[in-house]
Amino acid sequence: MDVLLENKWVILIGLEVLAWTSTFFLLYARYGLKSSFWFKVATVLFALTGVIPQVLMGIINFISTKRIDLFTLIIVLLLLYGFTIGKKHVKKLDAWAQAKFSKQTT
């Protein structure tokens, strides 16, 4: 548990990078590969690298510190972004990927 708390920022940044990478892979699987199998794999990867571990990290940090510190606040803000404005950004990214991969196949 101490290792998680000592390296929480590095872990959070790594998880965020993995989540965005899995998002791009998800779009590539959907539009580039046109594979439902790889799309499902990418969806699971996104869940395992995105929301779930970040929430767990925030809970572990809050239980450990017993207060809302900057780390917990950043996680709450990331989650709020993901459930609000982030949805619009992902829809734009989805439309971009669909247009980009449809041009390559024609």
> For residue range 53-69, what is the model confidence (pLDDT) as tens digits?
999 999 999 999 999 99
> pLDDT tens across 26-46, in order?
999 999 999 999 999 999 988
pLDDT at 49: 86
Q: Report whether pLDDT(106) > 70.
A: no
Q: Report whether pLDDT(104) > 80.
A: no
- Residue 46 to residue 49: CA distance in whole angstroms: 5
This prediction's pTM: 0.81
pLDDT at 103: 78
* Pair 56, 11: CB distance under 8 Å: no
